[in-house]
Structures are given as structure tokens and as C-alpha cells.
Amino acid sequence: MEIAYTRQGDYLLPNLTLPEQDNRPIGLWGQQRLRYIKRSRPILYTNLLTKCRLNEYLADIDEQAQKMYDELVQAFAKEDGCTEQLKATDQMLWVCKMNNAVQRARDVVNVKIIYN
């Protein structure tokens, strides 16, 4: 293996490049996971960072969590009886039930994916 160098003044510096990285956006769930692994799992964070796989990992977590969240909100809302008819007749009850479904889904995603 041959390493190429560039002269900078009196010094020879190696021409190092990083591998291609995944540039998918990281959403809310990925950012929460990032905060968690920085604080509670520093070895995992360091390994992903040094292998240039952190962004890919966080984007995958974000996609999984968002998919699970959307499915759970729909399931919990259906379970609680949140229908368009309820929305038309009693908006406050519909909002309460939807907020409940959203919070339950958020809690499940946090436990199963983000803080696992």
C-alpha cells in the first residue's frame, strides 16, 4: 500500500480521505437517539463515529421509529374510537383521545427503539 504525501512548508502530510458517508437527513427520533448514545452509550457512539457510520445508523433509527410511530398512532386512535364523526360532533373529546394516542405511541417508540 502506497501513501501519497503533500508538502506543506517543511512538512510532508499524508493525503487522507474519508469514505463516502450517508447524507440522509436525521429527524427528531434520530436526534433523540444521538443524545442518548452520547450520554449513556459512549463506546457505541465512538465506534460509529470512528467507522464513519454514525449518520447512516441515526437515519435508519429515525426511519424505523417514524414508521412505528405512525402505525401506533393510527392503531391507538382506532382503538380509542377517534373517528371523523366524533371529530364533527365533539371536537374536544376527539382532541383528547388523539393526544392520548400520540403520547402512548411516543412512549412506546421511546422504550422500544430510542432508549433500548
pLDDT by residue, tens only, the chain of 116 residues: 688 899 999 999 998 887 787 788 999 999 999 999 999 999 999 999 999 899 999 999 999 999 999 999 999 999 999 999 999 999 999 999 999 999 999 999 999 999 98
What's residue 36's pLDDT? 97
Of 25, 113, 35, residue with least CA distance to 69: 113
What's residue 56's pLDDT? 94
**Count of the separate structural domains present in the chain:** 1
Helix (H) or strand (E) holding 5: strand 5-8
Whether 74 maps to a domain, the answer reads yes
Whether 11 maps to a domain, the answer reads no
Whether 5 maps to a domain, the answer reads no
Whether 29 maps to a domain, the answer reads yes
Q: Read off the DSSP letter of residue 16.
A: -
| Residues listed for the chain | 116
Helix (H) or strand (E) holding 14: strand 11-14
Whether 30 maps to a domain, the answer reads yes
Other beta carbons within 10 angstroms of residue 58's beta carbon come to 23
What's residue 17's pLDDT? 81
Whether 86 maps to a domain, the answer reads yes
Whether 3 maps to a domain, the answer reads no
Whether 13 maps to a domain, the answer reads no
Alpha helix stretches (DSSP H) within 41-90: 42-50, 54-80, 84-89
Q: What is the pTM of this model?
A: 0.81
- Its domain, for residue 47, covers 25-114
Other beta carbons within 10 angstroms of residue 104's beta carbon come to 17
Q: Report yes or no: 86 and 94 within 8 Å, Cβ to Cβ.
A: yes
